[in-house]
Structures are given as C-alpha cells and as structure tokens.
Amino acid sequence: MDVIDAIGNTPLIELKRVAAGLPVKVFIKCEHQNPGGSVKDRTARAIVLDAEERGLLKPGSTMIEGTAGNTGVGLALLAGARGYRLICVLPEKMAIDKRIALRQLGSEVIITPNGPLTAPHNFRTLAARLAEENGWFLTNQFFNPANLGAHYGTAKYKGTGEEILEQVAQAGYEQPGAFVCSSGTGGTISGAGRRMKEKSPSIKVVLADPQGSSIESWVNTGVLGPDGPSMIEGIGSGSIPGNLQRQWLDGAETVSDAEAFAMVERLVKEEGLTVGGSTGVNVVAALRVAARGGLAGPVVTVAADQWDRYKSTVWMKAWMDREAATVTVQDKEGNKL
C-alpha cells in the first residue's frame, strides 16, 4: 500500500445539532479526511491512474493543471510518490495557504491574474497552452472523464457514490433521499449523482451553488444566469465545465457567502468539523432540502475540504479577530487582566 490506497473510504456522519428538528436526518461525507485534505484527492488518483494505464504518464513525466488549489494538492501528493514533475497554475484570488501547501509538496506554482476563460491569462487557458507548447500532460480536471469515474467508481476503486449508498444502508436506510453537493468541475455531483440515480431514480440530486455563480440558473432553467463575485473558493462558475452533467440533476440552490461562512462556524463549534467555505454552501443547501421533507431517506452532503487552506482569507481573519476579542486573560489569582 502507498498514499494512493489511503484515498477514499471516508466516514459518513450525522449532523446532529445543525440539522436538529428537521423532517429527515442529514449526513455528511467527510472528504476533508482524505490524505490531501479534500475530495479532490479522488480526482487526482483517478486522473493519474488513467493516464498511466494509457501511457500518457511515464517516469519523469511533467503534469500541469489549472486548479483552485485542492486538485493540485492531490496531484502533488501522487506526483511526489510516483516520480512526476507537477506544475500548478492558480488564479491570484486563491488563498496563499494553498500556494504554500503546493510548494511544500514539491509542486511548481504559477500565479496568473483572474480572468474569464477567453482571456489568455485565465488559469485554465494558460495551463492548456503551456501543456501544448511543452508536450506536458494536461490533467484537465474540468473535462477529463476520469474525474467522473473517481466518484462513479472504477474497476479498482469504489466511487464516492457507491460508498455513500453502502454507508447509508449501514445506517439503516434503504437509500438516501437526496444528495446535495456543489460543483467546481462537476465531477463529484455528476459522478456520484449518476451512481445514485442508477440505484434509484427517486433519489434527488441537488446542486449547491455559491452567490455569483451562473450554474444554479442553468440547472433550473437551462440558461446561464449572470456571473458575479463570491468569496467562496473552488466552486461555482460563469461557464459550464464538461464534467457537469445536467441530466443527473433535479435542481439547484443558491447560497450566499454570509450563509456559508456562518454555517462553517456552526460546523466547527457544534459538529467538530474543521471545514472550508464550500462545505458551508453544501450544508446550507442540504438543510433547505431536508426542511422541505417528502424524501425517501436522509439527505447526504459532502465536507469538501479542510479549513486550514483558508487561514489567510479575509473571512477567516475576521472570524479569528472576533474570537480573539472574546478571550479573557486572568492572572494566577483569577483577576481579569
């Protein structure tokens, strides 16, 4: 065994406090407990193994990926363990914590200005151009079908969807009532959602979308909505990634930054889950779906990544400042200082 075999098989736990009093229970798949700290470890494993099997990666090969950070971390773990060079292209808006993690894991990092896909400096566009110019392997998480396979399942590894079905059954339910998940590349919600729909078409698959993203409108109406700002990293988009497959989705919910960050604080304090902003989006949307009732089982969502990737961000610093202001310092006699 090596690090590649430590990915997946993450716990499924009940949210007992934040979901108290709802018509159905809410469970969360703890993908933040993967070796690289996020659900994207599964994507990295699937892409690397698929490329090796197809002869696209050989000892000493160079991989390049346009990433918000988490897929890059997963790829860096495997690149180091399997002897590949990795270059990650990140948009400048991403947390510096992710840049540091990538460098510590041995990845080369290119920071590029934020911009739409049509801009030559867009992180995905730049990664594709550099791959073509230099003969490097473009991992291409947004369109690589191996990403979907990571969550649907492969001949060697169970996917996220299969694990959820098994764990829900172990908890005493015939099936989930709904699966609620955000989309960065579309791999998790489409791959796991397809697997669940094949088990039972009555399982609802609902996209959780951050404010400013166009995808909620596309899922619900077929037309992209307006694109706007959000402080949530790694999910939502103004365009549709190739791995997001609308035929497996039943609807979508938009979640504001304020709702998401407030939920992150609750998850830390009330559930003991140290997670990032996208998990806040997932849980807020999951609670809405659960509150409506009428489901054939519990709602399942995903803890996408760890909070330590965001310690430098504006919202995390504001939270830390608020908590620091409540700390009481006493001398040894118990007098407040």
Nearest to 44 by CA among 7, 10, 85: 7
Q: Does 110 lie in the same domain as 223? A: no
Q: How confident is the model at residue 337 (pLDDT cuts 50, 70, 90)?
A: low
pLDDT in tens, 44-68: 999 999 999 999 999 999 999 998 8
Q: Is residue 195 part of a domain?
A: yes
Kindly state the percentage of the chain with pLDDT values over 70: 96
Q: How confident is the model at residue 163 (pLDDT cuts 50, 70, 90)?
A: very high
* Pairing mode, strands 26-29 and 12-14: antiparallel
Q: Does 125 lie in the same domain as 14? A: no
Q: Does 101 lie in the same domain as 192? A: no
pLDDT in tens, 283-322: 999 999 999 999 999 999 999 999 888 888 867 778 777 8
Average pLDDT score, the chain: 93
Q: How confident is the model at residue 93 (pLDDT cuts 50, 70, 90)?
A: confident
Q: Does 17 lie in the same domain as 82? A: no
Q: State which of 78, 104, 138 marks the end of a domain.
A: 138
pLDDT in tens, 232-266: 999 998 889 999 999 999 999 999 999 999 999 99
Q: Is residue 145 part of a domain?
A: no
In the set 25, 40, 98, 204, the catalytic residue is 40
Q: Is residue 144 part of a domain?
A: no
CATH number, domain of 269, equals: 3.40.50.1100
Between the CA of residue 97 and those of 60, 83, 93, 163, what are the distances in Å?
Answer: 27, 24, 12, 30
Selected residue with higher pLDDT from 332 and 7: 7
Q: Is residue 216 part of a domain?
A: yes
| pLDDT of 115 higher than 90 | no
Which residues span the domain enclosing 107?
40-138
Q: Is residue 229 part of a domain?
A: yes
| pLDDT of 333 higher than 70 | no
* Pairing mode, strands 299-302 and 26-29: parallel
Asked if residues 61 and 87 have their Cβ atoms less than 8 Å apart, the reply is no
pTM, rounded to two decimals: 0.93
Q: What is the count of structural domains for the chain?
A: 2
| pLDDT of 136 higher than 90 | yes
| Cα 206 from Cα 314, distance rounded (Å) | 29
pLDDT in tens, 190-233: 999 999 999 999 999 999 999 999 999 999 999 999 989 898 99
Q: Is 156 a catalytic residue?
A: no
Q: Is residue 333 part of a domain?
A: no
Q: Is residue 329 part of a domain?
A: no
